[in-house]
Structure 1
Amino acid sequence: MNKLIAFMALVFMVTACSDTAPEVKIQWTEVTELPQAISNNAVAAATVDGDQFLYTFMGLQRGKSFRDVSSYAASYNVSSEVWKQIPSVPDSVGRLASTAEYVNGYIYIFGGYTVAEDGSEKSTPEVWKFDPNTNAYEQVDDMLVSVDDAVSLVYNDRYIYLVSGWNDTNSVSNVQVYDTVDDAWETATPYPGPAVFGHSGGIVGNTMILSDGVELQQEGDERSFIMSAGSVKGVINPEDPTDITWNRIQQHPGAARYRMAAVGIESPAPMVVFMGGTDNPYNYNGIGYNSRPSSPLAGVFGYNINSGEWVELGEMPSPVMDLRGVAKTGDAYYLIGGMDAEQRVSNKVQKFTLQ
């Protein structure tokens, strides 16, 4: 059995942007490392026979070349602290920038992109329904628009939203809604402002908060990728899950970020918490579009939905970028893998709780 690798009880007091915001503490711990370092991987958590499990699907291995775009999948028993390799998606095609969500007993894995030997990339439309009880996959209806580097969010333990993202040659503003009960897709109110990829977001109740990402700018034949600073609030109409009221909100503290992790937190205050990522966007190997190495940012912050204010939550003990999501079990949240300050693919698993 793998043992607990390190315990770092780093507790940060929140610096609130409003006197009405509650005091929050965040505590970090490193738990059993992944057997294989992985980055830009889809992550989720599930309950199996009363036990809590973490999951990672696909992503980038340490070599960071097209050969290292992986179909690797593994599960982690939180109680026994053991990682185990599990079957990859049935087509065994390695993908980057996929996303995964746990809904009503199943994990749904969306899209991503493949990388060919000549460097060409292709956004994939497939959606896989994974049963954590049997480790079996079932292919369900494809996305309406193939996207990677999109934000996925779950509403009402039924609907999964894919917000903006990259489609082959351009970013798109589409908001796609997958109904897990009917195995059917619908189109929701489009994402406002520039279409982006590599942005981040979370949801509490029917309220989404999303931030940043990268947008494509094109002048003639010249294409460039730039950070797109901005934060957005989306409120889902409970009577119609395709109807979203979008509004721009105050920007979060610090620089705009790319591929940071985000998650909705209900307690001790309803907020969406963001962490990691970088202010120097890149494709997949950690070297920026500007040819300079990218480094992760350590700051953690959250948007308090009740007060409408951002709060600063200290710093990550081990900053990482290239994240696709946060896995939640009970009151604990996990960052699985990622890329560190030396652009190395990581096998660390970082756990945090808020009080």
Structure 2
Amino acid sequence: MELPYRPRRLRRREPLRRLVRETCLHPDDFIYPLFVAPGKKVKDPIASMPGIYRWSVDLVSGEVEAAYNAGVPAILLFGLPEQKDELGSEASKRTGAVQRAIKQIKKAVPEMLIITDVCLCGYTSHGHCGLVREGEVDNDATLELLAQVALSHAEAGADLVAPSDMMDGRVLAIREALDERGFEMTAVMSYAVKYASAFYGPFREAAESAPQFGDRRSYQMDPANIREAFREAALDIEEGADIIMVKPALPYLDVISQLRGEIDQPLAAYQVSGEYSMIKAAATNGWLDESTAMLESLLCIKRAGADMILTYFAKEVASLLRSA
């Protein structure tokens, strides 16, 4: 039987497969999330996230340098406070762990791009992402607090600030606060499309940020919705967001793909803690090959349309790609 076209012709050898490959991963695609904690000489392992640690300010620069040497161009900093209160006051403290870490990293690894998470959940005693009044998160009262946090990060030297709280209007509040204080060139990476996902569990252990009552479904997006993602992204772009993020990544590849066709802004996707931990757990049990599963999952996220990927695998995958 004669076939006019045989797709397998282009799959016969690895050099040929590389030649026609449509999507490729590169170390420059990745952003490495890091947790910064109070204290000194702290390298605290996170049980549900093998290979990930809480770092004190004096040690985090070493991990950042290792990531940079592996080829990772950017990090995302999350902070833990010494004490929590109802307002999350330490989030905007100039001597907080994140603010001090920014300065330390800038000195040690000046070429590394520093992004900071702007939220209150890890700093509030109730674990919610905003100011709570009468059992509800007060959206508008929270905006000023978020703007203060973002401003403290910019003053410390952050290159980008990344609001993850999902309050309405927070991008505009942050953009105006930054501009008024002369930080017009500090960019905003908005967690614009952040779903109320079950895949955040390990992160909440790492950041000690689980809500003490209720859940976050009144402000994070319903996993059933996709048209809402376009509205959220459009609002944040209108308010001044420079980069739009979808979170989580792998369960929402359809959202990433459809958004990519609708917006011109750079598009980020966050391979969250649950995605990372599932691969690690399966590999530990011998159910998956870790490197192969890691690469495939990240390739799928990029193929869907993400320009950049936030992943706890960043240092590992960058090193692997460089050595390939």
Of Structure 1 and Structure 2, which has the larger fraction of its residues in strand?
Answer: 1
What TM-score, normalized to structure 2? 0.34
Higher RCO (CA 8 Å, separation ≥ 6 residues): 2
Of Structure 1 and Structure 2, which has the larger fraction of its residues in helix?
Answer: 2
Q: Give the greater-gyration-radius structure (CA).
A: 2
What TM-score, normalized to structure 1? 0.32
